[in-house]
Amino acid sequence: MAGIVVALLLFLCMASRAEPPALRLDPELSFAERTFDGHLQVYHDASGMLSQSEVALPPYSQRFQPIQASFNGGYSHGAWWVRFPLQTTREQRADPIQGGWWLRLSAPYVDTMDVWLPGAGEALVHRELGDLRSSLLRDWPGTLPAVRLLNLVDDQPRWVWVRLAGARALSLSGGVSSVRELADVQQKITVASAGAIGMVLLLAFVSLVVGVAVPDRRFIAYAGYLSTLALLFASSQDLPASLGLLDSPAAAVRLHSFSVCLHTAAAFAFARSLLDMAHQFPRMDRVFQALSVVCALACIVALAGGFRHIALPLSVLWVLMSICVVSQCAVLLRRNVEAWPSLIGYAVYLALGVQHFAKNLQWLPYALTTQYSYAIGAIIHILAFFFTLGWRVRNRERRALALSLRHGERLEQRVNVRTEDLRQEIAQHHLTHNQLTMALREQQGMLAMVSHEFRTPLGTIGGAAQILSDERLGLARDDVKREAEKITRTVSRMRDLMDTLLADQWLEASSESMSRRDIDLAELLREKIDEHNEGSAHGRIRLSLEASHPTVLADETLLHIALDNLLTNALKYAPATSPVEVRACVLEGGVTGGTAGACVAVQVLDQGPGFRPPDLPHVFDRFYRAEGARRIPGIGLGLHMVQRIALLHGGSVAAANRAEGGAVVTLTLPCPTAGDVADGRLAEEVTSQ
């Protein structure tokens, strides 16, 4: 019986020291089957002075303890040794995988990591990794710590040794991968890190813009909190080192330590602002303010390289702050303050702090579950805080809306009173308008009377001047004749001006009583051209018709006035011997700004100076005259009257310059439709009856 007991004890001792299974370099295995889980043995070197050759020999080699998951050493003094057996297959020795096998070592916060790989024979190959080692010396060019394995000479298990040391929490996970798998892992880490950092920075920017626009200091404090969180994420994933600190690993490590302290200080400041501690919890506000200053001083210690002395107190402070803030949120809920989004955010924040603290103290294993839960919880608490601030803005808008409604009611009362006053003012304005209308009518009557009274003596003066200039009367002295001709020209000019003024007044009065009928425009143009050619034109006007009998529906008197003004304007500004051309054609596109359908366009072209570009927009204004035309007789009503007549008929008029020199004025009038013709015949029948 005693022998059986001894044999059983020996078996148990041998089982407890059994070697872990070898990690096989076999592409047939899945990615998860080639991780460190179940293959690691660890030993804590409290002195941190042992070398690899020493720990490989007894008694230290016998002190390695197997672990079933990834390694988590937490905050530890000295160094940790991790080893695992590696074994290849005969197929891999005969036909190695393309790109070779790589050892993937995920150790986020390890300052120095030394790796001894099996080489030729019993020799080991040393590789240096870790945050305090230059990234330029690594086998893998990315931020993921990885070393390339050498081809094993046989299929016997060979040991891989890893030494971990540093001032921050120590952990190790990973496995063996091919080049393609390693690149996929690197890509996923980079994309996830960049996505998280980008989201946090975007929320920070939005919060800053909202805080400035509203304005609200809580949004500004939240923007600062998110900015420090983005810096913490970036430094945790070694992004600053990969972007600008490749050759300064110590600076990258201190940057991460600094970001931890800075983010903690920002968390205290944001909690003070979010919960309005100055009014809700005055005493705790002073405590949090002091702790913010302490964390700011811790940033200086971190930059000086002393983070190892403050790392553990900082984690404890983080957890205590979360507990305190969650308690304050619960108190605010009891005070009927809508703080439940803040309570959710800080509850998640507390859970993250406890998990991170427990992991650093080796109470929780370092695994993908804890890592993913930390990332997901960080996103949840960020969104919860953002929702809290949005909720506050929404409540502020509701209060502002209620206040606006109350002010609106008061404003409505004032508007009613003011409206009554305005009605009285409008009635007074109507009375004043009627008086002005009467005064204008009297003014127009006076203008007609004055014009009539002027025409009578001017006619007498004109008749006398003609008698003086008649040689048959025997008074034809040169001086008398010359003065008489001056009188004649002056009287003619004054008569034309009076006729123009009277025509404009008559056009104003007759715009509502037009008598439209079908007019043969070709016949009318010939009549007007002959009239001018026999007079001042001296045969210079030529007519060009593209249609045999263009017809328009218009008031004949108004059309006479329009054509007279067009021809007179061209003769007035063109050289004395230059020809004036009149064209008429039928267009099918309709009148711009008028009715759709066919229309007739009349163009008057001269070879005068044309219009200056600054004058073109004003040539149809009433009484407008260009700078260079002041010496030519006229008062600026001719083209204005043409435009008014065109608009009364549903047409248009345009002025432009010719490419070869001179001006062209185009009058466009719509052609009569079948309905217009019927209305015109009916009007003629009614008139005849």
Q: Which two tokens stand for residue 406?
A: 């109350």
- Please list the residues that pair with 72 across neighbouring strands: 171
Q: Please, what sign has the CA dihedral across residues 266, 267, 270, 272?
A: negative
How far is the C-alpha of 240 from the C-alpha of 226, rounded, in Å? 17
Q: Is the pLDDT of residue 520 over 60?
A: yes
For the residues 99-108, what does the mean pLDDT come to?
89
Query: With contact defined as beta carbons under 8 Å apart, do 307 and 167 qualify?
Result: yes
Q: Please, what sign has the CA dihedral across residues 558, 561, 564, 569?
A: negative
CATH number of this structure's domain 2-186: 2.60.40.2380
- Please list the residues that pair with 112 across neighbouring strands: 165
Q: Which residues contact 28 (CB under 8 A, 6 or more apart)?
A: none
Among left, alpha and beta (phi > 0; psi -120 to 50; other), residue 606 is: beta
Label the pairing between strands 124-129 and 541-545: unpaired
Query: With contact defined as beta carbons under 8 Å apart, do 33 and 50 qualify?
Result: no
How far is the C-alpha of 309 from the C-alpha of 321, rounded, in Å? 20
Tens digits of per-residue pLDDT, 261-279?
Answer: 999 899 899 888 888 888 8
pLDDT in the model for residue 450: 52
Residue type, 599: C
Range from 76-90, 158-172, 671-685 carrying the lowest mean pLDDT? 671-685
How far is the C-alpha of 279 from the C-alpha of 89, rounded, in Å? 71
Residue found under tokens 């004395």: 576
Residues of the chain with CATH 3.30.565.10: 515-688
pLDDT in the model for residue 10: 38
Tell me how crowded residue 217 is: count the other CB atoms within 10 A of its CB: 10
Q: Which two tokens stand for residue 154?
A: 């046989």
Tens digits of per-residue pLDDT, 603-631?
Answer: 899 888 888 888 788 778 776 777 666 66
The sheet carrying 541-545 orders its strands as 541-545, 580-587, 599-605, 663-670, 652-657
Alpha helices, DSSP H, located in 2-128? 2-16, 52-55, 90-94
Residue type, 303: L
Q: How confident is the model at residue 649 (pLDDT cuts 50, 70, 90)?
A: confident
Label the pairing between strands 79-88 and 23-25: parallel
- Please list the residues that pair with 518 across neighbouring strands: 553
Terminal C-alpha separation, the chain: 151
Q: What's the DSSP call for residue 628?
A: G
Residues of the chain with CATH 2.60.40.2380: 2-186
How far is the C-alpha of 87 from the C-alpha of 77, rounded, in Å? 32
Q: How confident is the model at residue 169 (pLDDT cuts 50, 70, 90)?
A: confident
Query: With contact defined as beta carbons under 8 Å apart, do 175 and 36 qualify?
Result: yes
How far is the C-alpha of 656 from the C-alpha of 598, rounded, in Å? 22
For the residues 386-400, what does the mean pLDDT come to?
79
Residues of the chain above pLDDT 70, percent:
76
Helix (H), strand (E) at residue 177: strand 170-178
Query: With contact defined as beta carbons under 8 Å apart, do 315 and 356 qualify?
Result: yes
How far is the C-alpha of 532 from the C-alpha of 571, rounded, in Å? 9
Nearest to 582 by CA among 665, 671, 668, 669: 665
Among left, alpha and beta (phi > 0; psi -120 to 50; other), residue 87 is: beta
Tens digits of per-residue pLDDT, 426-464?
Answer: 988 888 888 887 667 655 645 554 554 456 556 666 666
Q: How confident is the model at residue 16 (pLDDT cuts 50, 70, 90)?
A: very low
pLDDT in the model for residue 50: 94
pLDDT in the model for residue 467: 65
State the DSSP string of 289-337.
HHHHHHHHHHHHHHHTT-HHHHHHHHHHHHHHHHHHHHHHHHHHHHTT-
Q: What is the mean pLDDT of the chain?
A: 79
Q: Is 657 helix (H, G, I), strand (E, B) or coil?
A: strand
pLDDT in the model for residue 171: 87
How far is the C-alpha of 372 from the C-alpha of 248, rounded, in Å? 29
Q: Classify each residue of 503-524 as buried b or exposed e, where b means 16 or more C-beta atoms within 10 Å of its C-beta.
A: bbeebeeeeeeeebbbbebbeb
Q: Is 496 helix (H, G, I), strand (E, B) or coil?
A: helix
Q: How confident is the model at residue 672 (pLDDT cuts 50, 70, 90)?
A: confident
- Please list the residues that pair with 583 across neighbouring strands: 544, 603
Q: Which CATH number fits domain 515-688: 3.20.20.30, 3.40.50.1220, 3.30.565.10, 3.40.50.880?
A: 3.30.565.10
Range from 89-103, 496-510, 518-532 carrying the lowest mean pLDDT? 496-510
Maximum Cα interatomic distance, the chain, rounded to a whole number of Å? 179
Q: 478-510 and 638-648 are packed helices; what angle lies between their axes, rounded to 10 degrees?
A: 30
Q: How far is CA 61 from CA 65, 129, 152, 171, in A?
A: 10, 23, 23, 21
Q: Please, what sign has the CA dihedral across residues 75, 76, 77, 82?
A: negative
